[in-house]
Amino acid sequence: MIANPSINQPLSDQDGVMETFTYDDRIVRWFAYATMAWGLIAFLAGLIIAFQLAFWPLNLDMPWMTFGRLRPLHTNAAIFAFACNAVFMGIYHSTQRLLKARMYSDWLSQIHFWGWQLIIVVGAITLLMGYTTGKEYAELEWPIDIAITVVWVAFAVNFFGTLFKRRERHIYVAIWFYIATIVTVAILHIVNSLALPVSFLQSYPVYAGVQDALVQWWYGHNAVAFVLTTPFLGLMYYYVPKAANRPVYSYRLSIIHFWALVFMYIWAGPHHLLNTALPEWAQTVGIVFSIMLWAPSWGGMINGLLTLRGAWDRLRTEPVLKYFVAALTFYGMATFEGPLLSIRAVNALSHYTDWTIAHVHGGTLGWNGLLTFAILYYLVPRLWNTKLYSNKLADAHFWLAVSGTGIYMLSMWAAGITQGLMWQALNAEGQLTYPDFIVTVTRIVPLYWVRGIGGTLFLLGFLVMLWNMYKTIQSGQIETPKVRQGRRLVPLDRLGADHMGDQPHRVLEGLPMLFSVLTVIAVLIGSVISIIPALTVQEFLPADKTYRPYTPLELAGRDIYVREGCYTCHSQMIRVSLDETMRYGPPSKLAESQYDRPFQWGSKRTGPDLARVGQKYPDMWHYRHMNNPRDIVPQSIMPNYPWLLSDSLDFEALGNKLQVMQTLGVPYSDAEIIGASQQAQEQAAGVAARLREGGVTDPDLETKEILALIAYLQRMGQKESVQP
Amino acid sequence: MSILILFVPMAIGISLVFLLAFIWAARQRQFEDLETPAHRILFDD
């Protein structure tokens, strides 16, 4: 009577077809190698720039060795080379085991690996050459951005393909964290990187001023959330139970942790722009969500730590567990500090100071670094079928890393709070106690040395680990992958009546992959549709026509400002507070940055704010200052920029730059675009004439880059060019 | 501030994607058993 028993008779998970398969551990080993290699580069670059702040001659008067170019190299290497490769290593290893399936395509795995390494190499070279978008943690230029998108899509297809053909019905919580990472990073990266190319390695963002600031920090905050937090939490939820050999303290809590995090994180970005010209209500949204984030973050930390209940004695003998415990502790500290720093009053003190630097390094060195080391110590012996070469060396590394991080954070907390209080200090007459910015810098330079010592210890520990890993790998051998058996999953709607829900739900669950893909496409299309009006309609610009766009020469100078990474030490955003108004002038207004692509509000003041530096000093002051800042401010720690005085400016390229700006909605007339080069040369001649009066004898002065930079600096805070 | 016209829908959109993912997961009975999955990962390597 029953034609097809498989339709009408209830099946169970035991009825799936038995299959054999192996795991691809070669790709995991490759990512492990990459993690260790790039870690060395990232930490070394960090150490160099740390000492550059303590001892300025280390900038070596060479363009590619200056702080402004090395600092983006350090952050990009730490986040996208070291941390990302660690994440890929852990995801490729744990996903296969959690889903009981080999990665969907070995070919895609290879594309992912080699593509990512190529991006890192090209990124490092272009950053050192000065090709940068000038947006923190998103500095790589547009061709590399496209490559990142392509490789990320390859990763996503590979991952979701594996998820689709999994042999384990339940999706373990770690996988959810990976899914959130892959989906959200794609959206963040694409939205923040939208730009119009000017040339092969230069572009202007489609957003300007406050819009660019908001998009950038929405990205910047969520890069921390979805590159340095969610994937590492996923890894934590897999590797801590594995290393401790006991289930996570509360699986239920881990599920709540995940869903709470992904719903809240996306809203917290504005806390990077507190007390600025950003509307107050938008700031408040950022604050509220930041403080709410404290709860799920600490829930996760406690869940990880309590997983070790009853196993605390093993910390004495197993270095891996010690690393996990310390990493989770740093996660707890950083996620407590984050909401704290998001409170307006605290932020007024901490922002632009080294307190922020202390905070991020607590997260990256303490949480991401130690967790990565823990996973390496856990994985490498297993991947090479051997034992760790030396537990003692692993122990030594642990103490070097933890003390190094501790010294780093303590010194930068002290430096940040000291400098913040000095900036705010008023004397009995109501005047600034420290009107000279440089006094607040020299006060904390000793702490920069201390920070350098902390970084040295951390790097030394890492070198100890590399030696330990080298000896471990040498003693091991790669075995042929073990052949495993598992059953193919039976579709849920064929599992029998007791598993079935109502009709619409059955339709949905048959198409989970298609469903999620369609949803993501819908979101992306929606995003694009919302962006287009912002690009084309004039009303979308915060129009204050009393401000004139930059002249061609000023625009060229601005590009130099971006190229040299001036934003890594100077802000262009005077906040709403008494001391800042007294020190720098009236608070910045949104209209002042309406033509700024990219915005250069900055996030750190190693030097003073520059929003109103225009017309404050004569041209000759800037000329001498850029050649050697110590000719003007003897204690200055700023690098020399002698090449700006000797390199020639490409005047012919300016027409094209104006053209792109016009396309983006900046009100340049066609005549201005055609005459850009000539107008720039005229303005440059004016600057040059003033410099010659000051005693500059360079015969080719009229063609030099420095003229453009001076023109831009003199324009800051002015409604239009002042040309006496 | 017109960027918020892009931004708020996008933040809601992303939240919505995860909400749908959550509903899907719940209907897939991913959260019926919150004990054994934690133990199961420890078995096989």
- DSSP labels for A136-150? TT--S-HHHHHHHHH
pLDDT in tens, A74-86: 999 999 999 999 9
Model pLDDT, residue A223 = 81
pLDDT the model gives residue A503? 47
Closest-CA residue to A375 (of A113, A66, A92): A92
pLDDT recorded at residue A724: 52
Alpha-carbon gap, residue A556 to A656, rounded angstroms: 11
Question: B12 at the A interface (CB within 8 A)?
Answer: no
Give me the percent of chain A exceeding a pLDDT of 70.
91
Give the list of residues 6+ apart from residue A436 with CB closer than 8 angstroms, or none: none
Task: Check residue A5 and give its pLDDT.
Answer: 46
Q: Which residues contact A96 (CB under 8 A, 6 or more apart)?
A: A23, A24, A102, A103, A162
The angle at the Cα of A85, spanning A80 to A87, to the nearest 5 degrees, equals: 100
- Assigned token pair, A251: 């699986």
Pairwise CA distance, residues A111 & A620, whole Å = 53
A180: left (phi over 0), alpha (psi -120 to 50) or beta: alpha
CB A323 within 8 A of CB A374: yes
Distance from CA of B26 to the nearest CA of A (A): 11
The amino acid that residue A332 corresponds to is G
d(CA A547, CA A567): 22
The reply to whether B43 touches chain A by the CB within 8 Å rule is no
Tokens 């984050």 sit on residue: A338
The set of long-range contacts for A692-699, using a CB threshold of 8 Å and a minimum separation of 24, is: A693/A620, A694/A618, A694/A619, A694/A620, A694/A623, A695/A620, A696/A620, A696/A623, A698/A645
**Which pLDDT belongs to residue A495?**
65
Which residues of chain B have a CB within 8 Å of the CB of A255? 31, 34
A315: left (phi over 0), alpha (psi -120 to 50) or beta: alpha
Q: Which residues pair with A426 in a beta bridge?
A: A432
Residue numbers in chain A where pLDDT is lower than 50: 1-7, 497-511, 515, 529-540
CA distance A447 to chain B (A): 40
Which chain A positions have a beta carbon within 8 Å of B17's beta carbon? 183, 516, 519-520, 523
Contact A381, A387 (CB under 8 A): yes
**CA-based nearest distance A590→chain B, Å:** 9
DSSP A122-181: HHHHHHHHT---SSTT--S-HHHHHHHHHHHHHHHHHHHHHHHT-S-SS--HHHHHHHHH
Structure tokens at A439: 């006094």
Beta-carbon contacts of A470 under 8 Å, excluding residues fewer than 6 positions away, are none
In angstroms, the CA A80 to CA A368 distance is: 12
How far is A353 from A347, CA to CA, in rounded Å? 10
Tokens of A687: 């600057």
Between CA A602 and CA A273 the distance in angstroms is 10
Q: Map tokens 């979805």 to a residue.
A: A226
pLDDT of residue A260: 87
Among A166, A170, A487, the residue to mutate for chain B (most B Cβ within 10 A): A170
Residues of B in contact with A242 (CB under 8 A): 41-42, 45
Contact B7 A492 (CB under 8 A): no
